[in-house]
Chain A
Amino acid sequence: MVKQYVSLAARVLRKYRLYSAINVLGLAVGIACCVLISIWAREELAFDGFHENADRIYRINKVYTPTTGGRELHALTPGPMAGALLDEFPEIETATRILPSWGGMLLVNGETSVASQDVLFVDQSFADVFSFQMVRGDRSSALTTPASIVLTTSMAQALFGDEDPMGSVVVGGGDFDYTVTGIIEDTPDNSHLRYNALVSWSTIESTADLLNYSFLERWLPQTIYTYVMLRDGTSAGAVDAKLPDFTATHLASRADQYSFYLQPLSDVYLQSRDVLYQRSMVQGSGQSVRALGLVAFLILLIACVNFTNLTTAQATRRAREIGVRKSLGAHRRQLVTQFLAEAFALAGLAAIVSTVLLEASRPLFNALTGKEAAAFFWVRPDILLSLAAVWVLAGFLGGLYPAVVLSRLQPARAIKNVTRTKRRGGLQTSLVTAQFAAAIVLIIASATVIRQMDFVQRTDPGFDREHVVVLPVGRTGIPNQLDAFKAELLESPGILAAAATSDVPGTSLSSYSVLPEGRSADEGIISDAVFLADTDLLNAYGMQMASGRFFDPNRPADSSAIVVNEAMVRSLGWTDAVGKRFDRVGEDHQGTIIGVVKDYHQASVHQEVAPIFFALERRIGALSVRVADSDVSAALGAMRTAWERFEPRYPFEYSFLDDDFAALYELDRRLMKTLSFFAILAVLVACLGLFGLAAFAAEQRTKEIGIRKVLGASATSVVTLLSRDYIRLVLVAFVIAAPLGFLIAQRWLDGFAYRINVGPGTLVIAGIAVLVTALLTVSTQAIRAAHNDPVKSLRYE
């Protein structure tokens, strides 16, 4: 019996090649998309899951509510917090502090030097909280003694080659000797925390003047990360509930502005898009995971709908066979088994084809996700298991409906093929409608993302981000010889201006406490971001003044002057800021505002332009150099020459400001690429199914069309006749999909402070795109049917 089912299924597949091919291909594409997305999504969701106690580890974040309004999330915490938490909270088993080196650090071994971006100062308890594997050295003591450094395998290789680095001395940050006490594995790909080297926390404590980080002993400012590991069986909620009292005790002056909370480690990677100050951490987008998860589901739905529809359509032409089988004594159950067997054979074939597609799409997968997948990356138990699950699901979806409906046919009528008069069942119509609705939603979503990204591209950032080269001179010796270095650069004809600044647009600024005029010290202290700059800032960035003037090198008094941006003026409720007092608290620095800079986007357009003030001070992180667009490479050459003369120890490094800025939108752009790719694919798969259905409908109505033509119907009227139904389907789908797509698109756009609106245009265009594609698909079949010789088609019966 089984043998007969199988061989019969094979023959049926071969006989109706077109339908089988469409069916198999559509489903295979659907399965492949679904698997690709789920592989990616699972990796994203499993971030940081490799830590043994991942479910007990939390990062301390804070909600910062400035008195001037707004709300920000920060990952930064006070230095003494970890110790205080450990003392006061019995729920907390371990707490560990991490201080990132904000400007990176140069590590030197003899002649070899490597500029390292991610050097972390960590407690010994780092090894207790996290499960990163030590390759060499003692896990329990490597980070105990001052001036200890633990290198990653790659860093050790880069600095020492084949030599044994253990116990050797590495010079860090110019002139401080560290002893290598261990080798640790490179940061795993799925860790949000990044490091090239770990330095013992005791280094900072024992040499207080080394990094001038004495404020690590104070509760303000806040510059470090704190991670805690709770005891088994305790809840984060219990700790969260007690944190307001804790803040009131230790940080009374800011208790109303700072609200600390525990963020589960499993959320840190995906749910920290809005969290500021995350140096040495990578971020993913939970939103993208959700969006693409939905896409995967929709594509699989579309493919399964195709499968069900085509199998059903295909099966109706076998009504006669069913009647005959019943007259031969077939039981309903036996017929159901037969149709299920065929559906399973087809779905199985699709599953096999999908593995071929998966392997072939590896480069695409890498391009879309920015990951590096190995050959046969899909050969994993979980994937094979889900392939099998999809196989079963599709087999049932595709087989059960035709099996149940057809096997219920009245044999006497089935033999006469009376069933044919009912052209399309209600289920088939609703399925096709659902399919088109899904496609329209996807198109609306991706069109919105594309339009928003275009908007982002065209948004005036308030400064000229092109032709600016950024040199990360922060940790080098160049700031000490700044004037000479700048002078040498400016001799090159291609270099127009150079400004030394604490930060560059696109990065987070430090925040300072200030007391603006008209406010008393009790209620008026606000904390705002400062941009420390030299007098050439406006020239280098092409920023504009709204009123007043910028710092002038020829006026020494400007060293205490302050420039603010328009957002600051607005947030303080002033009309004119120039001439107002603006004091920096705690540094005894009394300033006067001399000008207002027009608003510019320091951060991405996800965030609103925040209040910023500028001060003339040399704490230099980077040098921004404006070059003429005529000869950028000559200008770069001049920079390299100057760099190598002034700072031979550090390799020459540079980046373009527009690239740095674009990196802010990397996650959005990746979402745009993947979403639009899969949206197009979804439409194609839907059309593939439609093509099969239309071909089937045209074939079924051959006789009707023949009669109509004999009666004098024109080809056009026949095409209209065959296409009319589908236009109605798309219209119904549009009515369902438009509001849904609108809501989804609006929700995504809510993540941007500066955004487009989803207008009726986007909705209508999505609808028309699907309508036109559907019509093109259907009409190819309709036109063919309309041009058939009616004599032939009538004789056929």
Chain B
Amino acid sequence: MSESDDQPQLGEPIYELRGVSRSFGSGFNEAHVLKGISLDIAQGEFVSIVGPSGSGKSTLLNIMGMLDAPTRGSCYFMGQATHELSERQRVKIHRKHIGFVFQAYHLIDEMTVYENLETPLLYRKVKSGDRKSKVADMLDRFNMVAKKDLFPEQLSGGQKQLVGIARALVIEPRVILADEPTGNLHSSQGDMIMDLIRDLNRNDGVTIVQVTHNERYAAYGHTVVELLDGSIDSVSQVAGQSVQSD
């Protein structure tokens, strides 16, 4: 991996998907969830993927997050074909550049807020001192210092998602992949989370790919990709939104 790959410039492509297909099962039971998706996403872009249930949104997001692999076609991340990487290399890129936010938060129930935030850093083998300061920064930034010793079940939905985002952000990723981040939240909490995500995109230059059902939240992004039955139905630019330069 070259030096320039490590620090991609704004506007350069971060994702290049070429004919990505994903099917489950085989024979008569084979279900084609994605059918030949081709899509470019640029560094610093904010993309919303929308579409009805079962149209393949989450599968697409998982493939982009290297949690799943395409059956056919290829997915390039920062110029690297992900299917050509060994698991070790995939995990390495993943750790370095990708943060996940889930609809159901997926915090680890047996760990405190602090420990949940610390876990991705532990996996990256960040030194204890750095780890502490990074987690402290995140707690500060999201006003959660007082809640750091609570367990997830003691938090409200919005607070859990805050922790979820903080956890994705603590590794300072290039991309945040968010799978219906507001799906389980009330509208006021949803707005708060979406504003936060937009700020991350605008102020920190983090690339955002979100899956959503909510039209209003879809319009927070620059680009809306609509999926239907595993294929791209339409790609549209959102009026008034464009990729900002620093």
Chain A interface (Cβ < 8 Å from any Cβ of B): 1, 4, 8, 11-12, 15, 320-321, 323-332, 334, 410-412, 415
CB neighbours (8 Å) of B155 from chain A are none
Chain A residues within 8 Å of B109, by CB: 321
Q: Could you give 8 example pairs across A and B, Cβ below 8 Å?
A: A8-B111, A327-B106, A329-B94, A329-B120, A331-B88, A331-B123, A412-B62, A412-B68
Residues of chain B with a CB closer than 8 A to A332's CB: 87
B-side contacts of A15, CB under 8 Å: 110
Give complex CA distance A281, B119 in Å.
Answer: 67
Interchain CB contact under 8 A, A334 and B110: no
- A325 touching B108, Cβ below 8 Å: yes
Whether A327 pairs with B67 at a CB distance below 8 angstroms is yes
A-chain residues with CB within 8 Å of residue B110 when the two chains form the complex: 8, 11-12, 15
Interface size class, chain B? 20 to 34
C-alpha spacing A411/B100, complex, angstroms: 12
Within B200-235, the residues touching A (CB, 8 Å) are none
Q: Is the CB of A320 within 8 A of B123?
A: no
Q: Once bound together, how far apart are the Cα atoms of A334 and B59, in whole Å?
A: 26
Assess whether B172 is interfacial by the CB under 8 Å rule.
Answer: no
Contact of A321 among B108, B118, B120 (CB under 8 A): B108
**Known contacts being A12-B110, A327-B65, is A415 close to B102, with CB within 8 Å?**
yes
Taking A331-B88, A331-B123 as known contacts, 19 extra A-B pairs with beta carbons closer than 8 A to each other, sorted by chain A number, are: A15-B110, A320-B106, A321-B108, A323-B106, A324-B106, A325-B119, A327-B102, A327-B106, A328-B100, A329-B91, A329-B95, A330-B123, A331-B91, A334-B123, A410-B67, A411-B67, A412-B62, A415-B67, A415-B106
Closest to A7 in B: B115
Within residues 82 to 117 of chain B, which ones have a CB less than 8 A from any CB in chain A? Answer: 87-88, 91, 94-95, 100, 102, 106-111, 115
Cα of A514 to Cα of B106 in the assembled complex, Å: 94
The minimal Cβ–Cβ distance linking B135 to chain A, given in whole angstroms, is 12
Asked if B193 lies at the interface with its beta carbon under 8 angstroms from chain A, I say no
A12 to B111, alpha carbons, bound, how many Å? 10
- CA of A102 to CA of B167 in the docked complex: distance in angstroms? 87
Identity of the chain A residue whose Cβ is nearest the Cβ of B63 in the assembled complex: A412
Task: List B contacts of A410 (CB < 8 A).
Answer: 67-68
B171 within 8 A of A: yes
A412 in contact with B122 (CB, 8 Å): no
In this complex, what residue of B is CB-closest to A418? Answer: B24
Contacts A4-B122, A8-B110; is A329 near B67 (CB within 8 Å)? no
Asked if B124 CB lies within 8 Å of chain A CBs, one says yes
CB A322 to nearest CB in B, in angstroms, measures 10
Query: How many angstroms from the CA of A1 to the CA of B120 in the assembled complex?
Result: 11
Complex Cα distance, B125 from A795, in Å, reads 41
- Chain B hits for A4, CB < 8 A: 111, 115, 118-119, 122
A323 to B102, CA, bound (A): 12
CA distance A327 to B116 in the complex (A): 13
Question: With A and B bound together, what is the CA distance between A325 and B59 in angstroms?
Answer: 18
Of A328, A330, A331, the contact of B167 (CB 8 Å cutoff): A328
Q: Is the CB of A326 within 8 A of B171?
A: no
CB of A738, distance to nearest CB on chain B (Å) = 41
Q: Which of A15, A327, A411 has the most CB of B within 10 A?
A: A327
B-side contacts of A415, CB under 8 Å: 67, 102, 106
Out of B100, B107, B122, which one reaches A327, CB within 8 Å? B100
User: What residues of chain A lie closer than 8 Å to B91, measured between beta carbons?
Assistant: 329-331
A65 to B100, CA, bound (A): 86
| Known A321-B108, A334-B123, A412-B62; contact A329-B68, beta-carbon cutoff 8 A | no
Query: Within 8 Å CB of A327, what residues of B?
Result: 65, 67, 100, 102, 106
Closest-by-CB residue of A relative to B118 is A4
Smallest CB–CB gap between B94 and chain A, Å?
5
Given the complex, which residues of A lie within 8 Å of B118, measured CB to CB? Answer: 4
User: Which residues of chain A are near B67, meaning CB under 8 Å?
Assistant: 323, 326-327, 410-412, 415
Interface residues as binary, B56-89 with A (CB distance below 8 Å gives 1, 0 otherwise): 0001001001011000000000000000000110
A410 to B63, CA, bound (A): 12
A324 to B100, CA, bound (A): 9
Please measure, in the bound complex, the distance between the C-alpha atom of A412 and the C-alpha atom of B68, giving whole angstroms.
6
Bound together, the chains give a CA A327 to CA B59 distance in angstroms of 14
Closest 3 CB pairs of A and B: A329-B95, A412-B68, A412-B62
Q: What's the Cα separation between A411 and B58 when bound, in Å?
A: 13
Contacts of A412 in B (CB 8 A): 59, 62, 67-68
Smallest distance from the beta carbon of B179 to chain A beta carbons, Å? Answer: 9
CB distance from A422 to the nearest CB of B (A): 15
Give Cα distance in the complex from A328 to B94, angstroms: 8
Nearest neighbor of A1 in chain B, beta-carbon distance: B122
Q: Are B62 and A328 in contact (CB under 8 A)?
A: no
- Contact flags (1/0) for B30-69 with A, using CB distance below 8 Å? 0000000000000000000000000000010010010110
Which residues of A sit under 8 angstroms from B167, Cβ to Cβ? 328
What residues of chain A lie closer than 8 Å to B122, measured between beta carbons?
1, 4
Q: In the assembly, what is the distance between CA of A454 and CA of B167, in Å?
A: 70
B95 neighbours in A (Cβ, 8 Å):
329
Residue of B68, B109, B118, B123 ringed by the most chain A CB atoms within 10 A: B123
Closest Cβ of chain B to A543, distance in Å, is 77
- Chain A residues closer than 8 Å to B171, beta-carbon distance: 329
Q: Pick the most buried of A320, A329, A330, A412: most chain B CB atoms within 10 A of its CB.
A: A329
Q: How far is the CA of A330 from the CA of B107 in the complex (A)?
A: 14
Q: How far is the CB of B139 from chain A (nearest CB, A)?
A: 17
Give Cα A11 to B110, complex, Å. 6
B102 to chain A: which residues have CB within 8 Å?
324, 327, 415
Contacts of A329 in B (CB 8 A): 91, 94-95, 120, 123-124, 171
Chain B's closest residue to A321 (CB) is: B108
